Every structure is written in C-alpha cells, then in structure tokens.
Structure 1
Amino acid sequence: MNNQNISDVIEAYLKQILAEQEQIEIRRAEMASQFNCVPSQINYVIKTRFTIPKGYIVESKRGGGGYIRIIKVTLSTGSEILLELEEMIGNKLSEQDALSLLQQLYDNEIITKREGNLFLSLISKQVLQSTNEKNEQELRARLFKAFLTRLGYEEKE
C-alpha cells in the first residue's frame, strides 16, 4: 500500500472484481472492516469514483439486509451511445463529469485522444469561467450536447 491512499486501494479492489464480473454487491460495514476504515470512506469512494459518467450505476438498499450494488455499464454502439450520454448530461455539467464522459467516448473509440483533448480545452473552467458557476455548468452542458450531436452526424455518414 506504499503511497496509495485507502480510497485508491478500495477503488482498485472494486474495479478488479468488476473486470471479472458485470456487477458486484457489497455490504458497507463488511468492506469497512476489510479495509480497516470507517463506513463513510466506502460511501465516499462509491459516490466519487463509481458514477454514471465514469460508466457505473450504483444501487443501494438500506437496512439490516442492505447492500450496495455496483454495475459496470456497457454502452451501446455508435449513435446509441451518443444519445445515452446526451440524456445523462441534463442541463448542467461539471468539468470533472465532462472529463469522465470524454474518457468514455475515448474508451469506446468514438473519439481520438487528440479530439478529446481539444474539446476538453474548450470546455475547461479557465475558458468558461464566469461570475456564476451555474452558468458555467449550463454552458458546458450545451457545448457538450452540441459536440455529441455533431459526432452523431459523423456516425451516420
């Protein structure tokens, strides 16, 4: 565990399991005991590292028999992916979520690394900074949707 923090270790452990299975079901208290950490640490890892933009759906059930289920999302192909991503974006998009979505596009070979980096530079906080963070996130969402729409045209040609 040398220089890795506990969040990185938990994330790596869960992703290793998800590489072999499409979904996993965990119990927060058991995971916390296994990694000798507080249960809120497990929540933190799941909420920040297993999000829809990063390709995961998280379901949970509270109570004595409760669980947390993490499902690796397998995106469809071509324009179907673009429509799914457009629906996920909504009206606001943070810079971190935009980066995760671009990574999904790259991982699914829809965009090149160069295209992703170029678009990322256009939607960065430095370029879109305004007096209001809400306006920045709304503008980023509109730009990303326009990007996805244009990618959809490329797919059809």
Structure 2
Amino acid sequence: MKLSDLIAQFITDQLTGQDAVELQRSQLASRFGCAPSQINYVIETRFSPARGFSVESRRGGGGYIRIVRVPMGPSALLQHTVAALGEQVDQSGAQLLLYDLHKAGILGDECFCALKACLGDQALSAVPQPLRPRLRAEMLGAALAALAAEQ
C-alpha cells in the first residue's frame, strides 16, 4: 500500500462515526515519516469538495486541518465544488476534480470527456500559459454551475 493510501485511510478512520475531524499537519507528517507537503497532497486529492468534503486549514504553531464530511445531493455537491474552486486551476487539478465527479456519477462519460478535453492545455494553446489557470477555473466553474442548475 502506498504512503498516500495509508495517510488517507488513517484520516478516513478518524472520520468514522463523525462528521468532522481536526488534525495537526506536523503530527501526521511525524507519524508517517513524511514531509507536510505529502499530507497536503493527500488532503487535496482524497478529501476534495467533489468527494463530499470541506477542508479548512490554518497554518502556524497552533495550526490545524479540519476535514468536514458534507453529505449532499448532486446539485448541492456541484454548487459546493464551484464555491471551493478558487480563482485558478491547473490542468491536473481540473482533471482530478472532473474524475472525482465522474466517479461519483455526477458527470456522464461524454460530459467528462468533453470537459476534460476543453480544459486541457492543448485546447487552451492559443491562450498564454500564465493566463490558462484563471481561464480554466472560470470555464470549469461556469460548466459546473450550469450542470448544477440542470440537476
């Protein structure tokens, strides 16, 4: 089992029977013998809004990570995802989010493939590289908001 899988399983176990858990990034990193950035990676990829979680993070000495399970239907999940999207999304982040929504059954195969293609660097090649993450976030947000309205 990969380290990221072990960390994700530990966090999932902590959430068992609860709607939220607060963790210390540095304590998790010490426990698993990894860098805090590995903890960040697991949280960003396994506990995303598209997977039904809300994550609050506070850095510093008394910092924590609060992961909240947010049970919701497809429309609410899409709206939650749009709200958590941010101003910029790189290609891999967009693909991961689309994959999560596809896996959750919210995006069908055709919609998943079309959005993945439209948000990729190849489709955005006419846009200067520094502007792509912002445009990608705007396009993804608009597409998901439209899907939420259809639900």
Q: TM-score, normalised by structure 1?
A: 0.68
Q: 1:126 to 1:61 in 2, by over 3 A?
A: closer
The share of aligned pairs that are identical, in percent, is: 23
Q: For residues 39-93 of structure 1, what are the alpha-carbon distances to aligned partners after superposition, in whole Å with 9 as ceiling and x for unaligned?
A: xx1x212322213456340334643xx3533314425324333332222224322
Q: Unaligned 5+ residue runs, structure 1?
A: none
CA distance in 2, matches of 1:73, 1:19: 10
* CA-CA distance at 1:134 after TM superposition: 2.7
Give the SS at the match of 2:66.
Answer: strand
Pair 1:49-2:42 in alignment: yes
Runs of 4+ off more than 6 Å: none
Q: Unaligned 5+ residue runs, structure 2?
A: none
| Contact 1:92–1:134, Cα closer than 8 Å, also in 2 | no
For residue 74 of structure 1, the aligned residue among 64, 70, 76 is: 70
Query: After alignment, is 53-62 or 96-105 more displaced?
Result: 53-62
Q: Which residue is equivalent to 1:140?
A: 136
For residue 152 of structure 1, the aligned residue among 119, 123, 148 is: 148
Q: Which residue is equivalent to 1:26?
A: 23
Point out the structure with max Rg over C-alpha: 1
CA distance in 2, matches of 1:149, 1:31: 35
* CA-CA distance at 1:123 after TM superposition: 0.9
Q: TM-score, normalised by structure 2?
A: 0.71
Pair 1:96-2:95 in alignment: no
